[in-house]
A and B are shown apart, each in its own frame.
Chain A
């Protein structure tokens, strides 16, 4: 079955940086769009960013635009999120999730990684 393994979370001070990784296996990674979704402690789900299969199309939520950068390495079957200028309100569990084939479309997220906790605190 499809597997997505998220890593890279941890404790960081406000203004700091962190890089999340999502290792994909058991599917043809380079044919699917991918997404990051986060969930603050005790709160609901928030879409963060999406990237098309060939990285041609990239989108961000307004809350992270200009601070976070999504990328992927299809040769390594991996998705990344570089998070800079972190704020207390970025504290959340971050999930990667598989989207549809090719470009970013109206396709639900059918597989999710286990999530990694990012805590931004002084």
Chain B
């Protein structure tokens, strides 16, 4: 099974700031990686797929990069509505999809 490890697990940042979340895969997954945002009590929302393609309607301050085993999600110019938990998901070993453990982004 492919394991995904996100770092950090918790992140504190200020409105207007910039953050980067890393997702590392236990083996190469090419660009088969997606990022989701989840707010408390809500369903996850797809932000990025194929490692770097922005889902329709997602603000351009979100960006993704990486391939193989290391990936990053960057949020530039943080807005109040961006404080949430973020998950990466690997799609390479479908249908045995797996998610990272999550990164909680809090307001400093």
A is bound by B? yes
Specify which of B45, B55, B98, B100 is in contact with A47 (CB 8 Å cutoff).
B98
Known: A108-B34, A108-B89, A110-B55. A45 touches B44 (CB 8 A): yes
The chain B residue sitting closest to A59, CB to CB, is B95
- Asked if residues A47 and B92 are in contact (CB atoms below 8 Å), the reply is no
Using an 8 Å CB-CB cutoff, how does the interface string of B62-99 with A read, 1 for contact, 0 for none? Answer: 00000000000000000000000001010110111111
Given A44-B99, A47-B97, A47-B98 in contact, is the A107-B91 Cβ separation under 8 Å? yes
Beta-carbon nearest neighbor of A107 in chain B: B91
From known contacts A44-B99, A47-B97, infer whether A106 and B32 are also in contact, taking CB-CB under 8 Å: yes
Report if A106-B102 is in contact (Cβ < 8 Å); known contacts: A114-B43, A115-B43: no
- What bracket does the count of chain A residues touching chain B fall in? 20 to 34
> In the complex, how many angstroms separate the beta carbon of B81 from the nearest chain A beta carbon?
18
| Interface secondary structure of B, over-half rule | loop
- Assess the B95–A104 pair: CB atoms within 8 A: yes
Q: Are B92 and A112 in contact (CB under 8 A)?
A: no
Q: Is A82 an interface residue (CB 8 A)?
A: no
Contact digits for A76-110, partner B, Cβ 8 Å, 1 yes 0 no: 00000000000000000001010000001111111
Q: How far is the CA of A63 from the CA of B19 in the complex (A)?
A: 34
Q: Is A73 an interface residue (CB 8 A)?
A: no
Query: Does A50 belong to the interface (CB within 8 Å)?
Result: yes
Chain A residues closer than 8 Å to B34, beta-carbon distance: 108-109
Main secondary structure of the interface of A (DSSP, over half): loop
Q: What are 17 inter-chain pairs, A to B, with CB distance below 8 A?
A: A44-B101, A44-B102, A45-B38, A45-B44, A45-B102, A47-B97, A47-B99, A50-B97, A59-B95, A95-B43, A97-B43, A105-B94, A106-B32, A106-B91, A106-B92, A107-B94, A111-B46
Besides A37-B44, A108-B34, 12 new A-B residue pairs in contact (Cβ under 8 A), listed by A number: A44-B87, A44-B101, A47-B95, A59-B95, A104-B94, A106-B91, A108-B89, A110-B46, A110-B55, A112-B45, A113-B43, A114-B43
B residues touching A (Cβ–Cβ < 8 Å)? Answer: 32, 34, 36, 38, 42-46, 49, 55, 87, 89, 91-92, 94-102
